[in-house]
């Protein structure tokens, strides 16, 4: 970290979510001051005093502007969002309100407050829709096939309507790790295995479409990418944040079951199937690597072991 970066202040929206505490820790370890906004319950994040955390609803511009004016950040990482693609089919209006109008409020509040903060906008691989080619590069057409992806494309369009605000766009593929809620696929598997091992669930794992192939990255690698993009990402440019490898979800489930001594069966659950699913998502991360020096450090095997250990501990405490 250069002397010029030391002590600069990063404001994270959605700091109490899954990614927020990991990003806060990454920035603190690298010499930044960290503050953030949260929506519901105030998070407890090591190294961040309560005075640097503020409740704010991103759908209410005056709350976001007040936080920006109070914290005066050098950087803003906009994580606050609705992010469950399956759920987005049932709550299209809410996804639009939070992901699109919330982003508009961030940018208008920054402009109105006269702040020159650089923004990292967290987008999604769902912006690409069904891939025309694999691996997916950043110049792939944006053609989302679910309301979540649509909201992220629209959020990016909103940001580009404010060229006076320096913005870097992160298009993140599937990321996971300890602490991710069990409505996402790998934590769902880990949670169910831990429940079965503890005798709290019958020895059956219920699944949706596990034939799909996905590009998974550990959240700890993701937040390192976000830090490097804040430091080195070019204004107006989009970067895939991904491993560059895809794994069939059924293979990962079998591997995770193999990490357990329990005798577990797999059963398809119609309620877990999405109306539209993409056969394979695999990103090209060469732009991220080439321009920031980022490298993946945590393998999918290590991530799955850590997920299992996290849920075993959590289930044992219930």
pLDDT digits (tens, 9 = 90+) for 298-309: 999 999 999 999
> Smallest Cα–Cα separation from 298: which of 171, 134, 181, 175?
175
Cα R_g (the chain), whole angstroms? 19
- Phi, psi dihedrals of residue 169, rounded to the nearest 5°: -110, 120
Indicate where the chain has its CATH 3.40.50.720 domain(s).
Answer: 9-177+217-244+283-297
95-120 average pLDDT score: 97
Three-state secondary-structure class, residue 33: strand
Tens-digit pLDDT profile for residues 201-251: 999 998 888 888 999 999 999 999 999 999 999 999 999 999 999 999 999
Location of each CATH 3.90.25.10 domain in the chain: 185-212+247-281+304-317
Task: Determine how many CB atoms are found less than 10 A away from the CB of residue 168.
Answer: 23
Asked if residues 308 and 193 have their Cβ atoms less than 8 Å apart, the reply is: yes
CATH superfamily of 185-212+247-281+304-317: UDP-galactose 4-epimerase, domain 1 (3.90.25.10)
Both tokens of 297, joined, read 């450090």
Q: Confirm if 22 and 185 have CB atoms less than 8 A apart.
A: no
Classify domain 9-177+217-244+283-297 at the CATH superfamily level: NAD(P)-binding Rossmann-like Domain (3.40.50.720)
Is there a contact between 252 and 214 (Cβ–Cβ < 8 Å)? no
Query: For 130-158, how does the pLDDT look when each residue is reduced to its tens digit (9 = 90+)?
Result: 999 999 999 999 999 999 999 999 999 99
Mind listing the pLDDT tens digit for each residue in 22-62?
Answer: 999 999 999 999 999 999 889 999 999 999 999 999 999 99
Cα–Cα distance, 149 to 129 (Å, whole number): 7
Looking at every residue in the chain, the average pLDDT score rounds to 94
């Amino acid at each position: 970290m250069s002397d010029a970066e030391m002590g600069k202040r990063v404001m994270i929206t959605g700091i109490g979510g899954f990614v927020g505490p990991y990003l806060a820790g990454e920035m603190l370890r690298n010499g930044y001051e960290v503050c953030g906004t949260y929506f519901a319950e105030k998070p407890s994040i090591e190294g961040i005093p309560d005075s640097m955390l503020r409740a704010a609803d991103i759908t209410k511009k005056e709350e976001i502007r007040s936080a920006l004016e109070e914290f005066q950040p050098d950087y803003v990482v906009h994580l606050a969002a609705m992010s469950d693609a399956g759920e987005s089919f049932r709550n299209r209006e809410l996804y639009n309100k939070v992901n699109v109008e919330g982003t508009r409020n961030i940018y208008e509040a920054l402009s109105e407050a006269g702040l020159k903060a650089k923004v990292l906008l967290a987008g999604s691989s769902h912006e690409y829709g069904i891939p025309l080619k694999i691996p997916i590069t950043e110049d792939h057409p944006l053609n989302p096939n679910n309301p979540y992806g649509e909201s992220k494309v629209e959020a990016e369009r909103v940001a580009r309507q404010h060229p006076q605000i320096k913005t870097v766009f992160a298009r993140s593929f599937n990321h996971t790790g300890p602490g991710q809620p069990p409505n996402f696929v790998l934590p769902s598997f880990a949670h169910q295995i831990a429940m079965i091992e503890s005798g709290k669930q019958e020895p059956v794992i219920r699944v949706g479409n596990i034939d799909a192939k996905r590009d998974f990255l550990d959240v700890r690698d993701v937040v390192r990418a976000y830090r490097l993009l804040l430091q080195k990402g070019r204004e107006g440019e989009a970067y895939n944040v991904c491993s560059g490898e895809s794994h069939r979800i059924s293979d990962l489930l079998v591997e995770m079951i193999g990490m357990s001594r329990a005798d577990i069966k797999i059963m398809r659950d119609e309620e877990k199937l999405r109306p539209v699913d993409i056969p394979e998502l695999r990103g090209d991360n060469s732009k991220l690597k080439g321009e920031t020096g980022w490298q993946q450090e945590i393998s999918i095997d290590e991530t799955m072991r850590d997920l299992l250990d996290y849920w075993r501990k959590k289930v044992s405490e219930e």
